[in-house]
A and B are shown apart, each in its own frame.
Chain A
């Protein structure tokens, strides 16, 4: 059950959509970006990079809101996001937050 209310202006507020770029060969697989992504956009991939770590991969490409948290917590300078200028979405209500 979702206990919080929907903001009245959630239909009007525009959210940005981000595109996540991963520099796979810099990744050391610490998992910080995967653990702390607010939208659970990332997941460990099955494949290895050249150093033998599992880099993250984007599993929900449309969900990224371009908050840059993965970019600033990554200790390896291996991930960053840029705004997708071709599309923008509405602020998500709690319906989409249910896990």
Chain B
């Protein structure tokens, strides 16, 4: 039996720019898995893919926008969320998905993330967290765990990492979850729920970076996945303040917030375009 059959295509090929595949992500990198899960979730959620756009910033995962066979935008560094906000406000019919990395969304774009969540813009943010700046050579990032070695912290990171779900929760996101690429089915379900959630939905995906993070911390890609298998605990509705990333103690995964609150457009319409004002304008 020959396992290779090129006449049949991969089930996701219709959403991929196959002429650009194989992609640039390194062997063992988890971004491809997160990206595939995102595409599967888009298909499974039943949203109109003609009215779905993907926005990404700069970094390894920022390349995602270039591989998807939808309208997609590769924006400047850190500005994926402001760009997505603009898209959503200009055309509220669109389903806007931001697919980007931790450095782009939380270091240079940290403020944009906070204010996107505060306004509760109706977009979905998928953040691939590989715990360092992978594309530029493995420098310390805002999400690097305490004590981890990187190019710029050769003896270990003296600072603690960002707790991304806590930040999203505190800023007012209406859907917050965290999964790893090993929990692929849960992650896909979660991205699907996030797409269908009305409001600012945030999914953090932990992903190995064997070439830049793993190499300096003696952690091959499969070691990272084993760590995800052994050192994680699924605890839905855990309080976001308990979600620090510390693989010694264990990392909590799950869905933490799923609420409904007025979105940016709802509030804008209620404040700046109340029905009586529109009627007055029509009469005039």
Chain A residues with CB under 8 Å of chain B are 19-26, 28-32, 35-36, 51, 53, 57-58, 61, 69, 71-78, 80, 82
The answer to the question of B37 belonging to the interface, with a C-beta cut-off of 8 Å to chain A, is yes
- With both chains docked as a complex, state the minimum distance between the C-beta of B241 and any C-beta of chain A, in angstroms: 31
Are A80 and B182 within 8 A (Cβ)?
A: no
- With both chains docked as a complex, state the minimum distance between the C-beta of A68 and any C-beta of chain B, in angstroms: 9
Cα(A72)–Cα(B188), bound, Å: 9
Are B3 and A58 within 8 A (Cβ)?
A: yes
- With both chains docked as a complex, state the minimum distance between the C-beta of A24 and any C-beta of chain B, in angstroms: 6
Give the contacting residue for A74; candidates B32, B188, B222; CB below 8 A.
B32
Are B33 and A73 within 8 A (Cβ)?
A: yes
Cα(A72)–Cα(B10), bound, Å: 11
Cα(A19)–Cα(B3), bound, Å: 8
Q: Using Cβ atoms and an 8 Å threshold, which residues of chain B touch A74?
A: 32-33, 36
The answer to the question of B11 belonging to the interface, with a C-beta cut-off of 8 Å to chain A, is yes
Q: Using Cβ atoms and an 8 Å threshold, which residues of chain A touch B23?
A: 76
Q: Using Cβ atoms and an 8 Å threshold, which residues of chain A touch B221?
A: 30-32
What is the chain A residue whose CB lies nearest that of B222? A35
Main secondary structure, interface of B, reads loop
Are B5 and A26 within 8 A (Cβ)?
A: no
Cα(A10)–Cα(B16), bound, Å: 40
- With both chains docked as a complex, state the minimum distance between the C-beta of B141 and any C-beta of chain A, in angstroms: 21
Interface pairs A-B: 5 shortest CB-CB:
A75-B32, A28-B27, A30-B28, A58-B3, A72-B184
Tell me the B48-75 residues at the A interface (CB within 8 Å): none
New A-B contacts (14) at CB < 8 Å, excluding given A28-B22, A75-B33, A82-B8:
A26-B22, A30-B29, A31-B222, A32-B221, A53-B27, A57-B3, A61-B3, A71-B11, A73-B182, A74-B33, A75-B25, A75-B36, A76-B21, A76-B23
The answer to the question of B238 belonging to the interface, with a C-beta cut-off of 8 Å to chain A, is no
Cα(A78)–Cα(B33), bound, Å: 11
Q: Using Cβ atoms and an 8 Å threshold, which residues of chain B touch A19?
A: 3
The answer to the question of B31 belonging to the interface, with a C-beta cut-off of 8 Å to chain A, is yes
- With both chains docked as a complex, state the minimum distance between the C-beta of B38 and any C-beta of chain A, in angstroms: 12
Produce 1/0 per residue, B170-193, CB < 8 A to A.
000000000001101100100000
Are A77 and B184 within 8 A (Cβ)?
A: no
The answer to the question of B12 belonging to the interface, with a C-beta cut-off of 8 Å to chain A, is yes
- With both chains docked as a complex, state the minimum distance between the C-beta of A36 and any C-beta of chain B, in angstroms: 7
Are A23 and B10 within 8 A (Cβ)?
A: yes
What is the chain B residue whose CB lies nearest that of A72? B184
- With both chains docked as a complex, state the minimum distance between the C-beta of A71 and any C-beta of chain B, in angstroms: 7
Are B36 and A72 within 8 A (Cβ)?
A: yes
What is the chain A residue whose CB lies nearest that of B26? A28
From B8, B12, B27, B36, name the one whose CB has the most chain A CB atoms within 10 angstroms. B27
- With both chains docked as a complex, state the minimum distance between the C-beta of A70 and any C-beta of chain B, in angstroms: 10
- With both chains docked as a complex, state the minimum distance between the C-beta of B214 and any C-beta of chain A, in angstroms: 12
Are B16 and A77 within 8 A (Cβ)?
A: yes
Q: Using Cβ atoms and an 8 Å threshold, which residues of chain B touch A53?
A: 27
